[in-house]
Amino acid sequence: MQVSSQPTYSELPLQLLLFVDERSSARNQVSEICCYLKQLQANYPFELQIINVGEQPYLVEHFKLVATPALVKIHPTPLQVLAGSNLDAQLKTWWLRWQQSAEAYLKVDQLPKILDQDYNINLPSSPIRSVSNSAELIKLADEIFHLKQEQEKLTEQLQFKDRVIAMLAHDLRNPLTAVSIAIETLEANYLVSQENKIPRLKPELAAQLFKQARNQTKNIDRMIAGLLQVARDTSAQLHIEPAKLDISALCHEVLSHQCDRALAKSQTIETDLPSDLPYVYADSERLHQVLSNLLDNAIKYTPENGTIRLSVLHRTSQKAQVSICDNGPGIPPEDCDRIFAERVRLERDQALDGYGIGLSLCQGIIHAHYGQIWVDSPPTGGSCFHFTIPIYPA
State whether residue 161 is helix, strand or coil. Answer: helix
Locate the domains of the chain by residue range.
15-127, 144-231, 237-390
How far apart are the C-alpha atoms of 152 and 38, rounded to whole Å? 47
* Cis check: omega of the bond before 329, within 30 degrees of 0: no
Q: So what CATH class is 237-390?
A: alpha beta
Q: Quick check: 37 and 48 in contact, CB under 8 A?
A: yes
Q: What one-character DSSP code corresponds to residue 272?
A: E
At the topology level of CATH, where does 144-231 sit? Helix Hairpins (1.10.287)
Q: Quick check: 68 and 21 in contact, CB under 8 A?
A: yes
> Which amino acid type is present at position 199?
P
State the sign of the Cα–Cα–Cα–Cα dihedral 329, 330, 333, 338.
positive
What is the residue-level pLDDT of the chain in tens, covering all 394 positions? 344 434 343 456 788 889 988 887 777 888 888 888 888 888 888 888 888 888 888 778 778 888 888 999 988 888 899 988 788 888 888 998 998 888 888 776 554 454 445 444 443 444 445 555 666 666 777 788 788 888 888 887 777 676 666 656 656 776 787 788 888 888 777 766 666 665 667 778 888 888 878 877 877 776 676 666 555 544 445 678 899 999 999 999 999 888 878 888 899 999 999 988 999 999 998 898 899 889 988 998 899 999 999 999 987 778 999 999 998 888 877 777 777 775 444 454 544 444 345 787 788 889 889 999 998 887 777 889 999 999 998 7
How far apart are the C-alpha atoms of 39 and 204, rounded to whole Å? 102
* Cis check: omega of the bond before 390, within 30 degrees of 0: no
At the topology level of CATH, where does 15-127 sit? Glutaredoxin (3.40.30)
Residue of 385, 284, 283, 388 lying closest to 339 (CA atoms): 385
Q: Quick check: 9 and 47 in contact, CB under 8 A?
A: no
268-272/80-83 β-pairing: unpaired
How far apart are the C-alpha atoms of 107 and 312, rounded to whole Å? 80
Count the Cβ atoms, other than its own, within 10 Å of residue 361: 23
How far apart are the C-alpha atoms of 54 and 157, rounded to whole Å? 34
The pLDDT assigned to 6 comes to: 40
Q: Quick check: 38 and 48 in contact, CB under 8 A?
A: no
The helix-helix angle for 24-43 and 87-109 (nearest 10°) equals 40
**How big is the chain by its Cα radius of gyration, in Å?**
35
Q: Quick check: 233 and 363 in contact, CB under 8 A?
A: no
CA atoms within 13 A on the CB side of 43: 7
